[in-house]
Chains A and B, each alone.
Chain A
Amino acid sequence: AQSVTQPDIHITVSEGASLELRCNYSYGATPYLFWYVQSPGQGLQLLLKYFSGDTLVQGIKGFEAEFKRSQSSFNLRKPSVHWSDAAEYFCAVGARGFQKLVFGTGTRLLVSP
């Protein structure tokens, strides 16, 4: 069965500092991987996705993520965080056919001045 682990519930980063949010997945076949962002009381917006090919994927708002099959990880990174990046971030794993898209429990990012 698919599963996703986001080990950090909260992370606080200073504005302008770099960011890395961790995501580990469990899936028997080649996964489809996603990072979504959610502002309070809103739906989820896609930041980036990985289906195949280059393991370093670029997304919106300056985010990137790297797929590491050997570590079953898909960590999200940003070189310089802005105050507007404060939100909750979700990692998700799926497969072709999308019978189930499984989400992690989320990481809440706080940005300090």
Chain B
Amino acid sequence: DGGITQSPKYLFRKEGQNVTLSCEQNLNHDAMYWYRQDPGQGLRLIYYSQIVNDFQKGDIAEGYSVSREKKESFPLTVTSAQKNPTAFYLCASINPGGLTEAFFGQGTRLTVV
């Protein structure tokens, strides 16, 4: 079955540590997105990528980095520069050329310990 897989489901980070969240899709979608979700704030866009080897900052990119070396994969690194990383992170993909919706992974909950 086609879909988006995020891993791990739960992740714990120590202060000053970088962590990487995985997002893989087998939908053959060109565009991929990372959102951060906090209670009462909806989904805020961190980074997005329209094609391989290209990505753009979203509204809250500070303290995050991404790469897009393969069409199927769009990993997100939460760096030590992100001062408040505890949140729920959602990855999505879209086929921008078609009339379709965004498909979402099941999310990763990151907690700083």
Contact = CB atoms under 8 A, between A and B. Distances in A.
Q: Do A and B come from one complex?
A: yes
Interface of A: 6, 9, 32, 34, 36, 41-46, 49, 51, 90, 92, 94, 96-106
Interface residues of B, number: 26
6 contacts: A41-B88, A43-B6, A90-B43, A96-B99, A100-B45, A103-B35
A45 to B, nearest CB: 8
B94 A98 contact: yes
Given A43-B106, A46-B101, A51-B99, A105 B45 contact: no
Contacts of A102: 45
Interface string B84-101: 000010101010100101
Interface of B: 4, 6, 31, 33, 35, 40-43, 45, 48, 50, 58, 88, 90, 92, 94, 96, 99, 101-102, 104-107, 109
A43 B96 contact: no
Contacts of A104: 42
B104 A43 contact: yes
B31 A43 contact: no
B50 A99 contact: yes
A34 B90 CA distance: 17
A7 to B, nearest CB: 13
A49 B98 CA distance: 13
A105 B48 contact: no
Contact of B58 (A43, A46, A94, A100): A100
Given A43-B107, A44-B104, A99-B50, A105 B42 contact: yes
Contacts of A46: 101-102
Contacts of B50: 99
A40 to B, nearest CB: 10
Given A43-B105, A44-B102, A94-B102, 4 more contacts: A42-B107, A92-B102, A103-B35, A105-B41
Contacts of B43: 90, 103
